[in-house]
Structure 1
C-alpha cells in the first residue's frame, strides 16, 4: 500500500509541484491538497493521510496553528517546509516542538527544475516520516516554571523570551517494549562519578525536542561540559542554541573554534561543519565539513575525536534519528573504555541511530527519553 499524503500550501504552484514529485513514485500517493491551515485540519480528519506536508505561511490559519490542532484532534506525521533563514529556523523549531516530525527547506527555484536530488530527498523523507512515532517524547511539561530545576544558590535563571511557545504536555500512548531492546536497569548511583569528564549527545530527526527535554532538566551547577551534535543546516543551529539557552539553567551556545570545555556549558556543533575535541587544550575545534562525509556535523567525527582526547572518560548518548551516524564513533569510544547509552525504541521519533548502536551491541544502557536526565545525574552521583 502506498503512503497517502496530504499536501498543504497556499501556493498553487508549490502544491502542484510537490504533488507531481510525490505521485511519480509508486510508494507514495497524494490523496488531497489544502490551500490554508483550516482546510488542512478538515481534510486531515476526512482523508486520514499517513503524512502531511505543511507550509508555515498561509492565510486563514498558519502552519503552527493548524499543526497544533491536527496533533490534538487527529495526530498525523507532519513534514514542515521551512525557509533557510533565522526566522525560518525559529518557526521550524516551534513546529517541531508542536509535533512536526521533520522539515525540509522550501525552494521555489529548485522545485521548478527537473527531477534531481531535492525531489528524491522529498520522496525519501516522506517515506521515513510515515514510519515515525507521532508524539514520541513530546511531553515537555518538565520545562514549565513549576517543574524546572531550581537555580543553584547565587545563580538566576535567564528570562525566557515571550515569543517562545509553551511546550505541549499531551502524552501519546506508547507501543509495547520489544524484548530485544528493552530498557536496561538504571545505572548504579555514582557509577560514573570521577570517571566521566565529558558528556556528548548525538542525534538527528526528533533531536531538537529530545535535547530540549534533557537539558532543561539539568541544574545550572551541572559539573561537566556537554557537546551536542544535531543534524541541522548552518542557519538553524544558531537559532536552536539560542532557544535552548533561554529555556535551560545551564548555558547553551553554538560552538566556535577554540571554545573551551567548561562545566555547565553545552556547545552545539554548527551546521555544515565538524566539531572535534582538541586533546591538548580541552577545547573544541570547528572545521570545514569534509564533502566525503554524509553528515555535517557528524556524530562519528565528534565521538572519534573525543575517544582520542579523553579515552575512557566520556559518556556518549545516542538519541532519536534516522541512519547510523554515531555507530563507528561509539565503537571508538567503547574501545577506549568510555560509556555509551542509547535511547530506547519506544521514546524515539525515528529509531535509526539508537538502533544501530543497540544492534552493534555497543550500548551499556538503553534508556527512555524521560529518564535520561535523572540517570545522568544519578550515574554522576550528583
Structure 2
C-alpha cells in the first residue's frame, strides 16, 4: 500500500516540486497540501496521512508549533525541511524535540552530490518514516537544566582516577554487577575494561542521542565519540544544545582535540573524524573528505575503523537508529579486536536500518530499547 503524504509549505513552487518527486515513486501518494501550519493541523485531522513533509518557516502558524499541535492531537510521522543556517538548525532541532522524526535541507543540491541521488534519498526517507507508527500518547521532549557539573570540563585520566575515592568504575575483569533496565530486564555487567565509548546514528539520532547522553553522570569515566549524519551547519548547534542539557561535556570535535573522560565529541558535519595515537594519549583528526567512494560525511565506518586501530578491543560501540548500513563494516573491524557492540532494537528505532545491518551480521551482543541504553552503559562501565 502506498504511503499517503501531506505536503506542507507556503511556497507553491516547493509544494509542486516535492509532490512531483514523491509521486515518481509508485509506493508514495500525495493526498493533500497545506500552505501554513494551521492548515496543516486541520488537514492532518481531516485526511489522516501516513506522514507529513513540513516547512519550518510559514505564516499563520510556524512549522514547530504545527508539529506540537499535530503530535498532541493526531500523532503523525513528520519530515522537516530546513534552511542550512544557524537559525534554521536551531529551529529544526526544536522541531525534532517537538516530535518530528527527521529533517532534510530545503535546497535539494545540499541533500546529495547530484539531483538523482537527492530524489532517491527523499523518496526513501518518506517511505521509511511513513511506515512508522507513533503511539497515541506521544509526549514531546521537555528540557530540564542539568545540575551543575561537579568536576572541571577538562580532566586527565590521573585526576579522574584520584577524584573517585571508591574507584567504582575500576572494576576487575571478574566483577559482575546485577542491574535492571527501565523495562525491568535484569542484566549483568560483563566486567570488561573500556577506554572509549563510541555511538553511531543517523535518522532519528538527534533525539536518541539526547535520550542517552542526558542520563550519563558528570564523572563518566571515558571519552565518548558521536557520529551523527548531519549537515555542517547543524553540528555546532546540536553540540551546543547537548552540552547545555547534559551533565557531561559535549563539544563539536576539532582537529587535535585530546580525548578526555567525561567529554563527548560530535563529529562535524561534512567532515570525517578519526582517532590517532597508540598507547596513552589519543587525539582526533578532523578533515575534509572529497572522496566519492564514501557516501557519509561523517561516516560511522571511518571513525570506527580508526578506533579499532587505536584502541583495539577496549571499546563499547553502539549503533542507534538510522537508514542504511553505515557502521556495519566498522563494527566488524571493532568486533575482530574484541570490542563490545550493541544495537538499538527495532521497536524503539525511528528507522531500523543501521542497527539491523549490525545485528543481521552477527556483530552485536545485545539489542536494546532506547530507554534502556543509558542504564546499560552506566552498568557496563561501572558508573551506574
Into which bin does the TM-score normalised by the smaller protein fall? Answer: 0.7 to 0.9
The answer for the alignment partner of 1:72 in structure 2 is: 72
- Residue number in structure 2 paired with 1:17: 17
| Structure 2 CA distance for aligned equivalents of residues 138 and 356 of structure 1 | 28
1:279 aligns to 2:280 (yes or no)? no
- Which whole-Å CA distance do the structure 2 matches of 1:339 and 1:110 have between them? 35
How far is 1:269 from its partner? Answer: 0.4
Is 2:7–2:52's contact at 8 Å kept on the other side of the alignment?
yes
Give yes or no for contact 2:249–2:264 (8 Å, CA) kept in 1.
yes
**Mapped partners of 2:372, 2:351: distance in 1:** 18
How much has 1:144 moved relative to structure 2?
2.9
* Deviations, residues 26-83 of structure 1 (Å, cap 9, x unaligned): 2211111011111111110110111111001111111011111111111111111000
Deviations 1:73-131 (A, max 9, x none): 111111110001111111111111111111111128899xx974333332222112212
Alpha-carbon distance in 2 for matches of 1:315, 1:299: 14
CA distance in 1, matches of 2:251, 2:140: 21
Unmatched segments (≥5 aa) in structure 2: 154-182
| C-alpha distance 190-307 of structure 1, shift in aligned 2 (>3 A) | same
1:136–1:349 Cα contact (<8 Å) kept? no
Query: What is the TM-score normalised by the length of structure 1?
Result: 0.85
1:335 and 1:154 map into 2 onto residues whose CA distance is 35
Structure 2: how far apart are the matches of 1:235 and 1:152?
28
Alpha-carbon contact 2:144-2:245 (below 8 Å) kept:
no
Residue deviations 1:148-169 (CA, integer Å, cap 9, x gap): 5x5564679xxxxxxxxxxxxx
In the TM superposition, residue 142 of structure 1 has moved relative to its aligned partner by: 8.5
TM superposition shift of 1:259: 0.4
Q: Which residue of structure 1 aligns with residue 324 of structure 2?
A: 323
CA 361–139 in structure 1, closer or farther in 2 if over 3 Å, else same = farther
Post-superposition shift, 1:135? 6.1
1:125 is aligned to: 125
CA distance, structure 2, for counterparts of residue 59 and residue 87 of structure 1: 17
User: What is the correspondence of 1:195-210 to structure 2 with a 5 Å cutoff?
Assistant: 195-210=193-208
Maintained 8 Å contact 1:279/1:310:
no
2: distance between equivalents of 1:138 and 1:51? 15
What does residue 211 of structure 1 align with? 209
Equivalent residue pairs, number: 349
Answer whether contact 1:190 1:378 (CA < 8 A) is retained.
no
Distance 1:341 1:139, change over 3 A: farther
Q: Helix, strand or coil: the match of 1:337?
A: coil
Q: Report how far residue 279 of structure 1 moved.
A: 2.6
The one of 263, 268, 271 aligned to 1:270:
268
* CA displacement at 1:15 relative to structure 2: 1.3
Change in Cα spacing, 1:136 to 1:95, as seen in structure 2 (3 Å) is farther
Backbone CA RMSD of aligned residues: 2.5
Residue equivalent to 2:304: 303
